[in-house]
C-alpha cells in the first residue's frame, strides 16, 4: 500500500497539541475518502534518551492514484487547513510505499 | 505495541545504500530476539514534491521491557554496529508507542 506520513516535532505545549490533534485533527483526517487505515505512534524517546519528535501518523491508501484523488477532496482540504493552523511549523510530510507488502 | 523506528535521510548513493540495507542490514536486524514485526517503507516523495528522507523502518516489540532486553543481545549489537558503519550520519532513531492498539 501507499502511505502518507506525517512526522511531528516536539511542540512547545504538548498537552495543547495532543488535545487538538486527537480531538480535532485526527477526526477531520479520518473522514478523507479513500483512507484505508490510520496508524498513530506516540514518540516517547530514542535509544540514547530524548527525541526531537513527538508523533508519527501513517495514513494508508490503495495506490498513488488513490492518494492523489483523496487529496483533491474537501475533506483533505479541511484536514490540510487544520494542520497548517496548529502544526505547520512542526510537521514533515512524506509519501511512502510499503516494501514486501 | 512498542516500536523502534529508524528514519533514514537520502543517501548520496541510493543504489549502494539499498543494496547494503536490504541484503545485509535488514537480515542482521531481523535476527534480533524479541522482534515481532519489521515494516519497511520506501519514501518516494512528499505532497509538495521531493523528500529529504529515503526509508522508514518500524521494528515492533511487545513492550518497552522487551525492547530493552532485545537491545542487550549480540544480534542487536551487530545490527547497531552495521548501522553506524553504513548510515550513522543518515539515521534518526525513535522509540514509539502505538496509539489505540
d(CA B5, CA A77): 29
A23 touches chain B (CB under 8 A): no
d(CA B30, CA B24): 10
- What is the 3-class SS of chain A, one letter each residue? CEEEEEEEECCCCHHHHHHHHHHHHHHHHHCCCCCCEEEEEEEEEECCECCCEEEEEEEEECCHHHHHHHHCCHHHHHHHHHHHHHHCCCEEEEEEEECCC
Q: Do B51 and A95 touch (CB under 8 A)?
A: yes
Q: What is the mean pLDDT of chain A?
A: 97
pLDDT, tens digit, 9 for 90 and up, residues B16-45: 999 999 999 999 999 999 999 999 999 999
- Give the cell for residue B101: 492498539
Cβ atoms of A67 and A4 within 8 Å: the answer is yes
What is the number of other CB atoms lying within 10 angstroms of the CB of residue B29? 22
Q: Do B41 and A5 touch (CB under 8 A)?
A: yes
B51 neighbourhood in chain A, CB within 8 Å = 94-95
Domains of chain B, residue spans: 2-97
> Which among A43, A71, A99 has CB closest to B41?
A99
* Confidence (pLDDT) at A40: 98
Residue B15 burial (CB < 10 Å; 0-12/13-18/19+)? exposed
ipTM confidence: 0.94
Confidence of residue A100 (pLDDT cuts 50, 70, 90): confident
pTM more than 0.90:
yes
Q: Do A94 and B4 touch (CB under 8 A)?
A: no
pLDDT, tens digit, 9 for 90 and up, residues A32-73: 999 999 999 999 999 999 999 999 999 999 999 999 999 999
Residue A101 has pLDDT above 60, yes or no: no
Q: CATH number of the domain at B2-97, please?
A: 3.30.70.100
Amino acid at each position: 500500500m501507499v502511505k502518507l506520513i506525517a512526522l511531528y516535532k516536539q511542540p512547545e505545549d504538548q498537552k495543547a497539541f495532543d488535545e487538538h490533534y486527537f480531538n480535532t485533527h485526527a477526526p477531520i483526517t479520518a473522514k478523507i475518502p479513500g483512507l484505508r487505515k490510520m496508524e498513530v505512534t506516540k514518540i516517547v524517546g530514542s535509544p540514547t534518551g530524548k527525541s526531537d519528535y513527538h508523533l508519527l501518523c501513517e495514513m494508508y491508501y490503495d495506490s498513488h492514484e488513490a492518494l492523489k484523488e483523496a487529496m483533491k477532496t474537501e475533506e483533505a482540504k479541511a484536514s490540510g487547513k487544520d494542520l497548517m493552523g496548529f502544526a505547520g511549523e512542526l510537521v514533515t510530510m512524506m509519501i511512502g510505499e510499503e516494501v514486501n507488502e
